[in-house]
Structure 1
Amino acid sequence: VFVDPLTVVDMEFIASALFPAIDKNIVKKMVAFNNHIDHEVTVEKKWGQKGGPWEFNLRDLFRWCQLMLVDQSPGYYDPSQHVFLVYGERMRTREDKEKIGYSVLSRSSYVPHPSRRPLSLLHQSFQYLEPIMKCVQMSWMVILVGPASVGKTSLVQLLAHLTGHNLKIMAMNSAMDTTELLGGFEQ
């Protein structure tokens, strides 16, 4: 099945229809931004090539609008608040992230047992904790990318500890069917 790509008018119409609370002028600017990023990264290939290929589409606009509705007051929508989460966090290099923070998670009543190894809340952890927190809040899958021993697991353990949630860890290897696991996460 072949479907023509969505036009700017299509994207504006769909986003405005699904998110009528957000002013159409704001939606128009969001669509323009999305298309500008898509053109620079996927067509002109000016930046953002590490970790790609990327696709910036209607799903990104939907997530961006959802975040605004969850975190902001009606009539005071500010798309800049979550632009980095939707677009910047997927980039792999600091330089690419710079081309493109405000999260809150509620605590549960669960009191985690002290860790066998102490976890430290470091200043540089905040820039990584915020997007993870927002993805958890929105029930979106989090994919942490980086070399071995940089603290990806510790970051997740720290977030679970800080928010009072029981974290279950499952060791994975190449023999596991990760496609089934990852597909089930979205369900």
Structure 2
Amino acid sequence: NRFSRVHVDAFSSTDLFTITTAVHPTLPEDMVRAMIRFNGLLQTRVMVERRFGTNGAPFEFNLRDLFRWCDLIESQQIARDKPMNPTEFVDLLYLQRMREESDRQQVCALYEEVFNQHFVLDRHPLLYVTPAGALHISGF
């Protein structure tokens, strides 16, 4: 009926983990947890605390970003038979949204904080042809 009320809450980290691992069961659980933490902290720092990323805002970092990230990681692993590496797609999914270099540096620092590894941005695209004959550029 037109007078119904619907209350919607944001997904919790547990919800995101359950959904993401159900849709992408091949990804290591510890990597999925780190990806969810990164995505959530980025949303908090950019949109709630407004620490950075104000130029170009509003931004929203959500389940759709996690699914894109997972899809890209899985396609990279299948196409190139390479270990799953979330670092390769941070530029495409997160850094390119930021308008300021200082904001991109903050995103890189957050990645390093969450994944506990140095973030190296590869500005040289990798070209390869999949077994099906499709041309891929940087894992797309």
TM-score (norm 2): 0.70
Q: Write the mapping of 1:43-62 to structure 2, written as runs, cut at 5 A.
A: 43-62=48-67
Higher strand share: 2
SS in 2 for 1:72: helix
> Cα–Cα, structure 1 residues 8 and 75, in superposed 2: closer, same or farther, change >3 Å?
farther
Q: Distance in 2 between matches of 1:11 and 1:21?
A: 16
Q: Paired residue for 1:86, among 69, 90, 93?
A: 93
- Give the counterpart letter for 1:104 in structure 2: L
Q: Distance in 2 between matches of 1:52 and 1:69?
A: 29
| More contact order relative to length (CA 8 Å, sep ≥ 6) | 2
Match of 2:111 in 1: none
Matched, 1:69 2:74: yes
> Cα–Cα, structure 1 residues 45 and 14, in superposed 2: closer, same or farther, change >3 Å?
same
Q: Write the mapping of 1:1-187 to structure 2, written as runs, cut at 5 A.
A: 1-72=6-77, 76-100=83-107, 101=122, 102-104=125-127, 137=140
Q: Distance in 1 between matches of 2:128 and 2:97?
A: 21
Q: Distance in 2 between matches of 1:32 and 1:103?
A: 28
Q: Distance in 2 between matches of 1:12 and 1:45?
A: 25
Q: Distance in 2 between matches of 1:18 and 1:68?
A: 13
Structure 2: unaligned runs, 5 residues or longer: 1-5, 108-121, 130-136
Structure 1 or 2, whichever has the larger Rg, is 1
Q: Distance in 2 between matches of 1:62 and 1:89?
A: 17
Aligned residues: 110
Match of 2:113 in 1: none
TM-score (norm 1): 0.54
Q: What per-residue deviation string (whole Å, max 9, x for no partner) do you get for residues 88-108 of structure 1?
A: 1111111111222354365xx
- Give the counterpart letter for 2:70 in structure 1: C
RMSD, aligned CA: 2.1
In the TM superposition, residue 25 of structure 1 has moved relative to its aligned partner by: 1.0
Structure 1: unaligned runs, 5 residues or longer: 107-132, 138-187
